[in-house]
Amino acid sequence: MTPDRRRDDPDGDRTAGIAPDAESESRKPNPMGPNSAELNPAEPKPDGGYETAVGVAHSGESGSTAGQLFVVAATEYRLAVRSQWAVALTAIFAVFALGMATFSGADASPAGFDRIVASLAALVVYLVPLVALAFSYDAIVGREESGWLQALFSLPVSRSWVVLGTAAGRATVLASATIIGFGIAGLLLLLEYGFGGFEAYVGFLLAAVGLGLVFLAIGVLLSTLAREKTHALGVALLAWAWFVLVHDLLALGVIGAFSLPDAAVSAMVLANPTGVFRALVLGALGAGGDAGFAAVLAEAGLSTGALTAALVAWIVVPIALAALAVDRRRL
């Protein structure tokens, strides 16, 4: 460009003056690497996290299978905490447990402690499965609708491990909320009644955690099979009604109408996780009964080991089925 042309075109002069500097700056290597913008923990991510599974997987920090599972589970846990699910679940369990313990009217004795545990067990059968299904019905299908699942499936991470990590993260939140929520009531009962009969409350608390994990696993399976969140929610409510309300009524009707062997009665109890929970808690309390489902549990005569194994199977089988079904899912 001639000097005359440069004087007549001030824009051209400005562009010519800064173009070499801009080009040299663009050629400088980024000391943080090409993906530093994605991995900067100070920058919020679209899903609300600061170091999500996508960023960690791109950085190469999760090459092993255990690392991939941990990253997905930790991300799911952080998202649940930031969305206030953990606080809400803990508050729900604490309020209901404290209300039941305060207004149960039991006397201050080990027998009164047992009656409170039995009352809490009746509450847990209805409350914990409903809360667990509400917390897990959108675990997979909800992530798909938000676009988060597509991002995970585009990474070199097995789909099965994505499901397992999602279930593990939400299970940690649910188990923690159950222990803290009902544990607050347990501490107050401990101050009121002492250690007499407190081991029954510990057994009840562990059984409640197991029951919650069962229905969380069922919710994850339904979420994996459903194509829309509304479908998953509807089927989850039907599952809650079946296991909590309908199954026991049908079982009592069949047992009352027919003379069934003990093996058939045991199978009916094991076919319902809420029945397994009742058997564990009432068996530890030594509560039998002359009528209703308590009599069925007493007639079944299942050992604590068999009931615990059945509860574990109710957790493992739905998660395993969900891990297999997700490979056939089309996004």
pLDDT of 279: 86
Q: Report the pLDDT averaged over residues 88-92.
A: 94
* Spatial contact of 187 and 180, defined as CB atoms under 8 Å apart: no
* pLDDT of 19 over the 60 cut: no
Look up the pTM and report it: 0.78
| Secondary structure (DSSP) of 20-69 | HHHHHHHHSPPTT-TTHHHH-TTSPPTTS-SS-HHHHHHHT---SHHHHH
Report the share of the chain in percent with pLDDT over 90: 36
* pLDDT of 23 over the 60 cut: no
* pLDDT of 109 over the 80 cut: no
* pLDDT of 51 over the 80 cut: no
* pLDDT of 31 over the 50 cut: no
- Across 24-28, 50-54, 187-191, which has the greatest mean pLDDT? 187-191
pLDDT of 214: 98
Q: How confident is the model at residue 192 (pLDDT cuts 50, 70, 90)?
A: confident
The residues spanned by each domain of the chain are 72-328
Instruction: Find the Cα–Cα–Cα–Cα dihedral 38, 41, 47, 48, rounded to 10°.
Output: -150
Residues 6 or more apart whose Cβ sits within 8 Å of residue 268 = 251, 254, 255, 275, 296, 300
